[in-house]
Amino acid sequence: MSASSPLFRFVQAEFPWTLGPPSGRYLLRPEDQPEAPAAYVIVFATLGAPERRRLAALRKQRDAPPEPAPTPVSTGRATVIEVGEPLTDAAQARAWLEQAGEDELADGLGVLNRALHAFRLVTADPYLHTVSRRQALVARVGFGIGEQVADGLWTDARELTLTDGRTRRARVLHPQARLAAVLGSRELPLACEELTLRARQDLDHGREREAALQLVVALDAALAELARDRTADALADRLAELRARRESVATAAQSALSGPLTVTERDTVRFTLTRIESALRARAVANA
List, for residues 141-150, the tens digit of each pLDDT value: 999 998 899 8
Indicate whether this model's pTM tops 0.85.
Answer: no
Mean pLDDT for the stretch of residues 187-196: 94
Checking if the pLDDT of 42 tops 90, the result is: yes
Closest by Cα among 198, 200, 178 to 188: 178
CA distance 16 to 75: 5
pLDDT-above-70 percentage for the chain: 90
Please give the backbone phi and psi of residue 63, each rounded to the nearest 5 degrees, phi first.
Answer: -65, 145
Non-local CB neighbours of 17 within 8 Å, separated by 6+ positions: 73, 74, 75, 76
Task: Check: CB of residue 185 under 8 Å from CB of residue 76.
Answer: no
Task: Check: CB of residue 116 under 8 Å from CB of residue 80.
Answer: no
Mean pLDDT for the stretch of residues 271-288: 93
Checking if the pLDDT of 199 tops 70, the result is: yes
pLDDT at 195: 97
Checking if the pLDDT of 48 tops 90, the result is: no
Strand order through the sheet with 156-159: 24-28, 40-48, 74-87, 7-15, 138-144, 156-159
Mean pLDDT for the stretch of residues 75-100: 94
* Helix locations, the chain, DSSP H: 52-56, 90-99, 102-123, 146-150, 164-167, 175-183, 191-204, 208-227, 236-244, 246-256, 263-287
Q: Which amino acid is at 16?
A: P
Beta bridge partners of 228: none
CA distance 209 to 232: 30
Checking if the pLDDT of 166 tops 80, the result is: no
